Amino acid sequence: MLIEALQKYCDAEKRLWEELNNDKDKQYFIDNANVSEATLLIEDLFRYIRIVTPATFELLLKIDKDAALTFIKKYYLWQDLANYSDNRVYDLKMMFTDIKNILGENELNKILKSKKFLPVNKRNKKVKEAIKFALNED
């Protein structure tokens, strides 16, 4: 039974990655998804499976801006990132860039100036690099 469950999971994950990297599939999702259901599903990917990719965060920003901004604040900016892997901090580079490109630099600046953005994170070398990358990317 476990081997079958693992195979189904691997097959589903492969299909998910293929669709997340297909521009037509992503646009169809954005245009047709039930926002509340889709938001919950993407948040579950982030929370339980720890799948945060440029495509999944981008989709969440496009279908539910508030949920995306709450997610980045709650799971990245309001927690001390010093003990997290570099991958988690690296995700910020992509997330900050997506926020700037999709919502605008003013929205990114609001996030960066949030009083809840922990000062220890603002001093984190990798977080500083992510901020610099997003602000300088055009």
* pLDDT value at residue 86: 57
* pLDDT value at residue 43: 83
Chain segment 32-82, per-residue pLDDT in tens: 999 999 988 888 877 766 666 667 888 889 999 999 999 888 888 887 777
Exposed/middle/buried for residue 33 (C-beta within 10 Å: 0-12, 13-18, 19+): middle
What gap in Å lies between CA 113 and CA 121, rounded to an integer? 12
Nearest CA to 72 out of 50, 82, 57, 83 is that of: 57
- Rounded to two decimals, the pTM is 0.74
